[in-house]
Amino acid sequence: MPGLSELFRRYKREEKVEERKTEETKDTLRKTFLKAMPIRDLSDLDIVKNEVRSGNILILRITPLANKSVEDVKKAVNELCEFVDSLGGDIARLGEERVVVCPPNIKIWREKPQVASEPISTAA
Residue 5 inside a domain? The answer is no
CATH number of the domain where residue 58 is located: 3.30.110.150
What is the domain count for the chain? 1
| Cα 76 to Cα 73: distance, rounded to the nearest angstrom | 5
Range of the domain at 75: 34-102
Q: How confident is the model over 35-77, as pLDDT tens digits?
A: 999 999 999 999 999 999 999 999 999 999 999 999 999 999 9
Evaluate if pTM is beyond 0.75.
no
Residue 122 inside a domain? The answer is no
Residue 59 inside a domain? The answer is yes
Q: What mean pLDDT comes out for the span 24-39? A: 80
Residue 67 inside a domain? The answer is yes
Residue 123 inside a domain? The answer is no
Distance of CA 56 to CAs 28, 83, 108, 110, 119, Å? Answer: 14, 14, 14, 20, 44
Residue 51 inside a domain? The answer is yes
**Which band of pLDDT confidence, cut at 50, 70 and 90, is reported for residue 13?**
low
Q: What is the pLDDT of residue 85?
A: 96
| Cα 52 to Cα 99: distance, rounded to the nearest angstrom | 13
Q: What mean pLDDT comes out for the span 14-32? A: 66
